[in-house]
């Protein structure tokens, strides 16, 4: 289990003559990823969701707060000790086209980490070969076809499965999937989502799913938790289905309202929340971070910052109000 408490991260931008600008990527984020659980972070680009994913994977440092992996706080550890913990968290990149070395066959790609693994475990070379085949079968591709081939000979969906198989070579407990299906063809997308769900059930690995497409979050497991992140702050959090079907934060509602309606199959929801202006990172940090764009803001929102309230389904808003923003089935 991985928990984070009050995780902050500030990027210092090198300035010009007028001085630099600090970007607060994360402003005190709390989260928990249970063993075998599914957690989704959603938000617009620049909201900090990718930074958080990289922190969880140990690829990025954090300024304050704490990450605890199975009871061990990470900040007190030395680099080498920390690496051993973070090895159990593996990142699946967004772009399966650039995540694989084009000059290596899939066999070579999988063999390097497996050979290391075999040495650590005192297993034979034959074990590594066998394991490569086993993992490829697990992710749903034919080892005989894929192993001798180079990445360019495979389709995007296959490549993404190879990337997942490679992540599994080190027996991780958490997979961090950052926009892992956004570059996959539509007809194959559900296959990858179903695979992640399947890996949770079969191997009991947790999945941290990072995306801007809320609908995909439903497909990695109906027991999932959804975190809506806005400018480095969690503004709504709860069981995936609850947050999607009964969103209470205006930002969540704006995200859901923006999803195209599949006319002919669905009808638009009764209500629609449209931000009053475009996202501007330079907006003042006083008060609620979403206040400038919020159609429902009051004076209080501009001076005070709401914190995340509620246990199961929480939100950071002074005026939470359920709104029917998601599409309904046309036949209903």
- Binding interface with other proteins (CB under 8 A): 44-45, 155-158, 185-191, 193-194, 212-216, 218-219, 222, 244, 254-266, 274-275, 278-279, 326-330
CB of 227 to other proteins, least distance (A): 16
Q: How far is the CB of 116 from other proteins (least distance, A)?
A: 32
Q: What single string gives the DSSP state of each residue in 202-248?
A: HH--EEEEEES-HHHHGGG-TT-EEEEEETTEEEEEEEHHHHHHS--
Strand residue runs (E) in the chain? 2-16, 19-33, 38-42, 64-69, 72-73, 89-92, 174-178, 206-211, 225-230, 233-239, 266-267, 314-315, 328-329
- Residue 99 CB, shortest distance to other proteins, in Å, is 17
Choice between 218 and 305, CB closer to other proteins: 218
The nearer residue to other proteins, 128 or 146, going by C-beta atoms, is 146
Q: What is the closest distance, in whole angstroms, from the C-beta atom of residue 332 to other proteins in the complex?
A: 9
CB of 187 to other proteins, least distance (A): 4
Q: What is the DSSP letter of 260?
A: P
Overall size of the chain counted in residues: 332
What are 173's strand-pairing partners? none
Q: How far is the CB of 22 from other proteins (least distance, A)?
A: 19
67 or 220: whose CB is closer to other proteins? 220
Rounded distance, CA 87 to CA 71, Å? 16
Shortest Cβ 198–other proteins spacing (Å): 12
Residue with the two structure tokens 């907006």: 283
Cβ–Cβ < 8 Å for 305, 297: no
28/275 with CB nearer other proteins = 275
Measured CA to CA, the distance from residue 118 to residue 115 in angstroms comes to 5
Beta carbon nearer to other proteins, 18 or 126: 18
Pick 1 or 188: Cβ nearer other proteins: 188
Buried b (16+ CB within 10 A) or exposed e, 42-58: bbeeebbbbbbbbbbbb
Identity of the residue, 172 or 327, whose beta carbon is nearer to other proteins in the bound complex: 327
Counts for the chain of helices (H) and strands (E), in that order = 11, 13
């Amino acid at each position: 289990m991985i928990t984070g408490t009050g995780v902050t991260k500030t990027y210092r931008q090198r300035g010009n003559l007028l001085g630099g600008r600090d970007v607060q990527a994360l402003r005190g984020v709390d989260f928990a990823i249970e063993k075998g659980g599914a957690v989704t972070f959603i938000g617009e680009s620049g909201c900090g969701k990718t930074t958080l994913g990289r922190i969880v994977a140990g690829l990025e440092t954090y300024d304050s707060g704490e990450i605890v992996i199975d009871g061990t706080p990470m900040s007190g550890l030395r680099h080498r000790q920390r690496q051993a913990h973070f090895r159990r968290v593996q990142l699946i990149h967004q772009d399966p086209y650039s995540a694989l070395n084009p000059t290596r066959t899939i066999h070579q790609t999988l063999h390097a980490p497996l050979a290391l693994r075999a040495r650590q475990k005192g297993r034979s070379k034959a074990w590594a070969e066998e394991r490569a085949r086993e993992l490829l079968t697990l992710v749903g591709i034919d080892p005989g076809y894929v192993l001798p081939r180079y990445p360019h000979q495979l389709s995007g969906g296959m490549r993404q499965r190879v990337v997942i198989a490679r992540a599994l070579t080190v027996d991780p407990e958490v997979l961090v999937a950052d926009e892992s299906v956004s570059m996959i063809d539509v007809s194959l997308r559900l296959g990858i989502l179903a695979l992640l769900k399947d890996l949770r059930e079969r191997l009991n690995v947790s999945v941290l799913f990072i995306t801007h497409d809320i609908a995909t979050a439903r497909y990695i497991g109906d027991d999932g938790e959804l975190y809506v992140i806005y400018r480095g702050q969690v503004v709504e959090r709860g069981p995936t289905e609850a947050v999607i079907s009964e969103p209470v934060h205006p930002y969540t509602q704006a995200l859901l309202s923006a999803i195209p309606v599949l006319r002919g199959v669905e009808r638009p929801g009764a209500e629609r929340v449209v931000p009053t202006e475009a996202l501007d990172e330079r907006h003042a940090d006083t008060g609620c971070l979403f206040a400038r764009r919020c159609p429902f803001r009051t004076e209080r929102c501009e001076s005070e910052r709401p914190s995340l309230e509620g246990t199961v389904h929480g939100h950071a808003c002074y005026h939470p109000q359920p709104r029917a923003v998601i599409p309904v089935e046309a036949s209903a």
